[in-house]
Structure 1
Amino acid sequence: MSDQEVRSSSCSADGPNPMPPADAVTGPPYADCVLCGEPTEYGAAQPGATLCPVCEWQEAQRTACSG
């Protein structure tokens, strides 16, 4: 294996690349967050309630501590 192949096959120093869920509809036009109205990472055709990254994180915090 050459040095180039080793470098291209190893992980980047930036860490893992976060990916949207496999069933996510991606690409413009983007859906608006149902809580704050900001654009989300999901396409407008995504079924269900779409949340922006900030609201998604806040919702996860609320549900994690709800006992």
Structure 2
Amino acid sequence: MDQPDANPSYCPAPAAPAEPVAGPPYADCLECGKPTEYGVETPGAVLCPVCEWQEAQRTACSG
């Protein structure tokens, strides 16, 4: 019979972010429209540092 993990993780591990593409030109933030630190060819949703921080706060494990 399998034993449960000694240190169970209640929050799933975050997915590895896509490798950012260097700019310029820089992509616009999807939330506020300000320039980001990522090039326009970066895959996925790109956010500026402020919106990234706010998104991390919203999705953080509150447990």
TM-score when scaled to structure 1? 0.62
The answer for unaligned runs of 5 or more in structure 2 is: 1-16
- In the alignment of these two chains, the number of paired residues is 47
**In 2, distance between residues paired with 1:49 and 1:42?**
10
**In 1, distance between residues paired with 2:48 and 2:61?**
20
- Which structure has greater helix proportion? 1
- Output the aligned Cα RMSD: 1.9
The answer for unaligned runs of 5 or more in structure 1 is: 1-20
Report sequence identity in percent: 79
TM-score when scaled to structure 2? 0.66
Deviations 1:39-62 (A, max 9, x none): 000000001110000000000000
